[in-house]
Structure 1
Amino acid sequence: MQSEKTKVHFTDDSLLNPTNPVMVNLIGAGGTGSKVLTALMEMNHSLIELGHAGLQVRLWDDDIVTEANQGRQRFAECEVGLPKAVALINRANRWSGTNLKAEVRKFERDSLGRIQENMQSAIYMSCVDNVKSRFEIADILNELKEGRRLYRNQAKYWMDFGNNRYSGQVLLSTVENIKQPDSEKYQTTSNLPYVTEEFGELLLQSETQDDTPSCSLAEALEKQDLFINSTLAQMGCSLLWNLFRNGLTENRGFFLNLKNFHSQLIKI
């Protein structure tokens, strides 16, 4: 009797041995996004040391740093009043000698409904706090897929981070079908559905969550606990790292409850 093959997804070849750095659009520079950026810096350095071309990150956020952001988000007192994206990218570039880019605006179409060339990347990582933004990202990715724009960094993956006070989830999706190799050992999967496709109804049900800005750190901690964002960032980026390092994954995400320290894998 033959045992059932393990389902896996093999990483797109263009990410494993690129000639140039892999473009990553990081959307959101708040509690999760600011921590994801640090993880991407560490990943970029490690990949380069392993002979890879590394990552080129573009951070999108139209918000400014407030006093309430200190502590839970990766900002200092001297950065209050600065655009979040600029503060984080300037600090990252000074520290690591990189040339990461900041976009002080939302990741959305322009006033004429057009997608700009700098919105094109191989990987999209969304750390947004509202449902509308996720559906807008999905819509943009679908247009990029349908148009099949022949840029160097064609859209391949979307990793979405989401959370409430004590719990959250990370989900990896493919923008288009990723060609898989023939395998006698594994059952390969070319398509990983969007979070908006698989959990769209749950997202819409959660839309009533209060996302108004907090006036103090104490008020912010009533909405999101101190370490939920950083834990999600580390675990989610570990999943991305494994795509680069191992060339495949059996998991496409996880659910996390930090209150009882329980995590549940989302298998392929």
Structure 2
Amino acid sequence: MNTEKTKIHFTDNYLINPTNPITVNLIGAGGTGSKVLTALMEMNHSLIELGHAGLQVRLWDDDIITSANLGRQRFAECETGLYKSVSLVNRANRFSGTSWKAETQKFEKDKFGRLPENAKSTIYITCVDNVQTRFGVAEILKEISYRRNYSRDEPKYWLDFGNSRHTGQVLLSTIGTIKQPNSEKYETVASLPFVTEEFGDLLKQSEQQDNTPSCSLAEALEKQELFINSSLTQMGCSLLWNLFRNGMTEYRGFFHNLKDYRTQPIKVA
């Protein structure tokens, strides 16, 4: 008889019943990030309707909108030349009546090794195509975690999105250890490893790929399929939504292949 318990991660209590909106740092406003922001708008509205305090999002990106971004990303021709983060957040605030914020800079330490202002939040979501940026974010999160002062927006989770032309992955990590309840039914898991720790070697290998900016949409589509970003967004944000709605998860991410329509879940371990 198999008596092995299912491994489960229970959501941090503060996310379930907060007194203030959950702070979210969304890093990257490109093909995936622009769509994740839309999903967070939907999530915020739904949470508020269910009696939750909702989300307070800060979007980080120093890129300017170019013609190559039109069509595949959430930008219009009249927005060419504007900052991606400002354009998206202004639109979100007008649409939803929120007061979300835009940062027209990269989420990274300055030349003196100081953390960026407003770096602290409860949830971090990375939608970046640069491996070095991921490792930089991981370093910042470890430093913030080390400096814990147990305020209401204490860092809890990191959700990372990454993709190549046809494939991608989403991985949920805890920032430190999340206190778990006693359970007779499940084996609770308090810590989920960073993507940079678990898949660091794979990330470094992918760093050799060409990440130069595209000069047109046609050129961009040679590097990434049209719907890889949106399919990752929907599934990845569903994982985050389930943390709020179900208060627990058996899965911490997935590998996704749009070319042959396969998705492989990654279980909590």
TM-score (norm 1): 0.99
Residue matched to 1:160:
160
Post-superposition offset of 1:148 = 1.0
Post-superposition offset of 1:18 = 0.3
Residue matched to 1:193:
193
The answer to whether structure 1 residue 79 and structure 2 residue 79 are counterparts is: yes
For residue 207 of structure 2, give the secondary structure of its aligned residue in structure 1: helix
Residue matched to 2:173:
173
User: What is the rounded CA distance, in whole Å, between the counterparts of 1:201 and 1:177 in structure 2?
Assistant: 24
Post-superposition offset of 1:71 = 1.0
User: What is the rounded CA distance, in whole Å, between the counterparts of 2:241 and 2:179 in structure 1?
Assistant: 20
Say if 1:141 and 1:244 are closer, same or farther in 2 by CA, change over 3 A.
Answer: same
Equivalences for 1:251-266 in 2 at 5 Å?
251-266=251-266
User: What is the rounded CA distance, in whole Å, between the counterparts of 1:33 and 1:118 in structure 2?
Assistant: 19
Post-superposition offset of 1:110 = 2.4
Post-superposition offset of 1:114 = 1.2
User: What is the rounded CA distance, in whole Å, between the counterparts of 1:2 and 1:223 in structure 2?
Assistant: 46
Say if 1:213 and 1:22 are closer, same or farther in 2 by CA, change over 3 A.
Answer: same
User: What is the rounded CA distance, in whole Å, between the counterparts of 1:187 and 1:75 in structure 2?
Assistant: 45
Moved more, 232-241 or 147-156: 147-156
For residue 183 of structure 1, give the secondary structure of its aligned residue in structure 2: coil
Are the equivalent residues in 1 in contact too, given 2:107–2:116 (CA < 8 A)? no
For residue 208 of structure 1, give the secondary structure of its aligned residue in structure 2: coil
User: What is the rounded CA distance, in whole Å, between the counterparts of 2:70 and 2:117 in structure 1?
Assistant: 33
Deviations 1:55-110 (A, max 9, x none): 00000000000001011111000111000000000010011110010000000112
Post-superposition offset of 1:3 = 2.1
The answer to whether structure 1 residue 36 and structure 2 residue 71 are counterparts is: no
Residue matched to 2:89:
89
Residue matched to 1:112:
112
Give the residue type in structure 2 aligned to 1:210. D
For residue 221 of structure 1, give the secondary structure of its aligned residue in structure 2: helix
User: What is the rounded CA distance, in whole Å, between the counterparts of 1:27 and 1:72 in structure 2?
Assistant: 18
Residue matched to 2:134:
134
User: What is the rounded CA distance, in whole Å, between the counterparts of 1:75 and 1:63 in structure 2?
Assistant: 13
Post-superposition offset of 1:30 = 0.2
Post-superposition offset of 1:116 = 3.6
RMSD: 0.8
Post-superposition offset of 1:4 = 1.1
Q: Unaligned regions of 5+ residues in structure 1, if any?
A: none
Post-superposition offset of 1:117 = 4.4
User: What is the rounded CA distance, in whole Å, between the counterparts of 1:35 and 1:230 in structure 2?
Assistant: 7
The answer to whether structure 1 residue 208 and structure 2 residue 216 are counterparts is: no
For residue 118 of structure 1, give the secondary structure of its aligned residue in structure 2: coil
Residue matched to 2:54:
54
User: What is the rounded CA distance, in whole Å, between the counterparts of 1:155 and 1:116 in structure 2?
Assistant: 15
Give the residue type in structure 1 aligned to 2:90. N
Post-superposition offset of 1:151 = 3.2
Deviations 1:192-237 (A, max 9, x none): 0000000000000110111111011000000000000011011000
User: What is the rounded CA distance, in whole Å, between the counterparts of 1:265 and 1:9 in structure 2?
Assistant: 15
Give the residue type in structure 1 aligned to 2:195. V
Give the residue type in structure 2 aligned to 1:41. M
User: What is the rounded CA distance, in whole Å, between the counterparts of 2:199 and 2:244 in structure 1?
Assistant: 26
User: What is the rounded CA distance, in whole Å, between the counterparts of 1:94 and 1:105 in structure 2?
Assistant: 22
Post-superposition offset of 1:149 = 3.4
Post-superposition offset of 1:166 = 0.5
TM-score (norm 2): 0.98
Give the residue type in structure 2 aligned to 1:123. I
Residue matched to 2:101:
101
Residue matched to 1:217:
217
User: What is the rounded CA distance, in whole Å, between the counterparts of 2:33 and 2:124 in structure 1?
Assistant: 12
Q: Unaligned regions of 5+ residues in structure 2, if any?
A: none
Question: How many residues are paired up?
Answer: 268
Post-superposition offset of 1:2 = 4.7
Give the residue type in structure 2 aligned to 1:188. T
Give the residue type in structure 2 aligned to 1:73. Q
Identity of aligned residues (%): 72
Give the residue type in structure 2 aligned to 1:91. R
